[in-house]
Amino acid sequence: MVPSLDSILDSGDDSLFNAAVRGPGPKGALPLTGELLRTRPSGDLFGWTQDAGMGWDPESLGAREVLILSTHGGLRAPGGSPVALGYHTGHWEVNLLVEAAACEIKTLGAIPFAGYCTDPCDGRTQGTPGMMDSLPYRNDAAIVLRRLIRSLPTRRAVIGVATCDKGLPAMLMALAGSPGLPCALVPGGVTLLPEQGEDLGAVQSIGARYAHGAITLEQASSVGCRACGSPGGGCQFLGTAASSQVVAEALGLALPHAALAPSGHPIWLDMARRSARAVLALEQRGVATKDILTEAALKNAMTTHAAFGGSTNLLLHLPAIAHAAGLRPPTVDDWIAVNRRTPRLVDALPNGPRNHPTIAVFLAGGVPEVMLHLRRAGLLELGALTVAGVTLGETLDWWERSERRRRLRAQLKEREDVDPDDMIMDPEAARRNGITSTVTFPKGNLAPGGAVVKSTAIDPSVVGAGGVYRKLGPARVFTTEPAAIAAIKSGRIVPGDVLVLAGRGPLGAAMEETYQLTSALKHLDFGKHVAVLTDARFSGVSTGACIGHVSPEALAGGPIGKLQDGDLIEIVIDRTRLEGSVNLVGAGGVRFTAEEGARRLAERPTRPDIAPDPALPADSRLWAALQQASGGPWGGAIYDTDAILRLLEAGKRALER
């Protein structure tokens, strides 16, 4: 029904016209002193006026103030039903964490403030123009969150509450950019698996599977409806959201055993209350974020990421967090070194082999349980300080003997008949199960600046002797994701092909995430026999021989933008030595060496259809240019203010000549 013009212009309710000009205002008086009036900025005094106006007892003003920032989205009725939907389950319930932390802060005699900067859903924007705002959003949100922190000048501490792919890294960047304040991160947790149906990774392939006759319309409708086993929390797999929660805890910015908690549960709410206690204790002791977020913490985070088999998107986010903290961002060489010395120990979706959900990893002990194994292997910096107020070594001592650990691991065994030690393994057990280290950084004439593949997630059935994956196949080149997914759905991509998606890096499409493609290939029978090569990036739940972050990107003159349909591509990924190559080795029916391929690529022009996507927003074009001036994706896709200003000044001088 279309509302009438009369109903739009006037509701016809006589009671609306009883509008007052004045109100009684708050009772009581501000606790001002002559000294405060003489010395404090007017903004501090006016802030108290605002606090009283919002209903806070004026007599208690002057206590310590704690700012709680979150990515909450949507509007829930008191019983939890939706009044207005959020973008995703990951931020749907986090306001409950904000409330729990705020109530604890008030109980402890301090004053809580709350602010919000909601976040988008990468799953919702897969395959749409909305994906061109995904990675740029992270930088924008980090700026907004930092501005909100600075805009409450009287705050003494900050708590960040966030869950998902871009909102959580943005929150970590904001906290890292507040080095003089005590800060704590409260992860938003995970959603449960449905009792019947599919996980949130598999369900994103229903369109491709239906197109191939692998599921019926009724099956697609059913599994699509029930994939979220509970209304809140991040996805059930170890994608970018879960990996970011793990990294937050490994950095020491979240309490031990905080990552991957079940959203909405008492153990999840309790984490928020304890985080409030922790940040007030840090403030009392004069411990700030700069004391926690150190080089040692960064090493621990990278090591734990490798042990979990985390998302390759953290290669973008951890350098950005390091930069915000004023630390040296990790380089590709640093990542290679960490992954070569760190075994993957966790069996979780999507890496396998048994693909346990993230909530089960939490029950098995989560981050501290993995860290116990890493400590025994001598891979951790145990002296790093944590938000608990003690060192990492001390928190692990507590965890190892804790009742919490004993009871949750026993519960997993009793209720799910899963041995926690089969999910979080020691290095020897991981080797026996064929689990390899997490990522490899292949190079070659198609990726002279490097690329990345989550080599541990390549299907073992297509890996050859010595743990080496080899692929020699024709390029099937696309310059848009819709064209590529249409080819998959219509059967034009066949086993043996190398699907090339070029021109989708930062300059072309804001380095969009391409899970629509990789999920389809994962869940179609022939998909493991197809490789993907792109200058875009992948969802953390992507698996298979998917090589992304290819650099230089096509629009920066990269060789990937010169490939033609039918070109012969050779891919070699050694999952044991963590070495790899991706090369053009043939064209027009003629085989040649990688060196000859490099020469031919140098002579070829970039394809005429390589161009910025027409739908690329101006905001994202600006992001692409600024992050390119700041070191590009390998530098974390950040904004390096000094580098940008130097470039602008150099350009200004050049124009003046």
CATH number, domain of 477, equals 3.50.30.80
SS3 percent helix, strand, coil of the chain, rounded to 5, is 45, 15, 40
The answer for 306, left when phi > 0, alpha when psi is -120 to 50, beta otherwise, is alpha
Alpha-carbon distance of 63 to 430, in angstroms, equals 51
* 280 Cβ contact list (under 8 Å, min separation 6): 64, 66, 105, 108, 110, 157
Q: In the chain, what is the straight-line distance between the N-terminal and C-terminal CA atoms, in Å?
A: 64
- At which residue do the structure tokens 């959203």 appear? 263
Give 307's Cβ-side CA count (13 Å radius). Answer: 30
Return d(Cα 190, Cα 334) in angstroms, integer.
30
* Residues 341/344/350/353 CA torsion (nearest 10 deg): 130
648 shares its domain with 574: no
Q: How far is the C-alpha of 545 from the C-alpha of 469, rounded, in Å?
A: 8
Strands 468-478 and 568-574: antiparallel
Instruction: Give every CB contact of residue 458 below 8 A, 6+ residues apart in sequence.
Output: 469, 543, 544, 545, 573, 575
- The average pLDDT across 381-393 equals 98
Selecting among 134, 455, 519, 539, the annotated active-site residue is: 539
Residue-level pLDDT at 275? 98
Supply the range of the domain harboring residue 622. Answer: 618-656
Vertex 292: Cα angle to 152 and 107 (nearest 5): 50
Please answer whether residues 191 and 233 qualify as being in contact, where contact means their C-beta atoms are separated by less than 8 angstroms: yes
Do 533 and 597 belong to one domain?
Answer: yes
Share of the chain above pLDDT 70, in %: 100
What is the distance between the alpha carbons of residues 88 and 266, in angstroms, rounded to a whole number?
A: 21
Rounded Cα–Cα distance for residues 12 and 374 (Å):
69
Q: Are residues 576 and 628 in the same domain?
A: no
Residue 499 inside a domain? The answer is: yes
pLDDT at 507: 98
Which of 341, 261, 258 lies closest to 307 in space, CA to CA? 341
Residue pLDDT, tens place only, 218-277 = 999 999 999 999 999 999 999 999 999 999 999 999 999 999 999 999 999 999 999 999
Contact (Cβ atoms closer than 8 angstroms) between residue 632 and residue 506: yes
Cβ–Cβ < 8 Å for 324, 170:
no
Q: How far apart are CA 621 and CA 508, in angstroms?
A: 9
Burial class, 280, CB count within 10 angstroms (exposed 0-12 / middle 13-18 / buried 19+): buried
Which segments of 523-640 does DSSP mark as H helices, in order? 594-603, 618-629
Q: Which residues sit opposite 546 in a β-bridge?
A: 532
pLDDT at 382: 98
Q: What mean pLDDT do residues 85-96 have?
A: 98
**Confidence band for 20, pLDDT divided at 50, 70 and 90:** very high
Percent of the chain surpassing pLDDT 90: 99
- Kindly state whether residues 599 and 629 are assigned to the same domain: no
What pLDDT does residue 136 have? 98
How many Cα neighbours within 13 Å face the side chain of 645? 3
pLDDT of residue 199: 96
| Token representation of residue 220 | 């697609």
Is 179 in the same domain as 326?
yes
Average pLDDT over residues 374-384: 98
Same domain, 409 and 460: no
Please tell me whether residues 149 and 262 are part of one structural domain. Answer: yes
pLDDT of residue 259: 98
539 has catalytic annotation: yes
- Domain membership flag for residue 385: yes
As a whole number, mean pLDDT of residues 580-596 equals 98
Q: Are residues 416 and 494 in the same domain?
A: no
Asked if residue 216 belongs to a domain, the reply is: no
Across the range 185-204, mean pLDDT stands at 97
Residue 645 lies in a domain: yes
Q: What average pLDDT score do residues 341-358 get?
A: 96
**Do both 142 and 277 map to the same domain?**
yes
In whole angstroms, give the CA distance from residue 262 to residue 278: 21
- Beta bridge partner(s), residue 472: 570
Asked whether residue 19 is assigned to any structural domain, the reply reads: no
Answer yes or no: do 503 and 421 share one domain. no
The per-residue pLDDT for range 393-415, each reduced to its tens digit, is: 999 999 999 999 999 999 999 99
Among 352, 361, 319, residue whose Cα is nearest residue 234 = 361
Strands (E), 413-455: 450-452
Would 409 be classed as within a structural domain? yes
What does the DSSP 8-state code read for residue 608? Answer: T
d(CA 512, CA 164): 16
In the chain, the number of structural domains is 3
Give residue 436's pLDDT band: very low, low, confident or very high (50, 70, 90). very high
Residues 239 and 279 in one domain: yes
Q: How many CB atoms lie within 10 A of CB 650?
A: 10
- Alpha-carbon distance of 240 to 252, in angstroms, equals 18
CATH of the domain at 255: 3.40.50.2300
Please indicate, yes or no, if residue 611 is contained in any of the structural domains. no
In a domain, residue 579? The reply is yes
Q: Distance (Å, rounded) from C-alpha 196 to C-alpha 176?
A: 41
Contact 161, 128 (CB under 8 A): no
Among 226, 244, 196, smallest CA distance to 90 is for 244
Whether 259 and 356 share a structural domain: yes
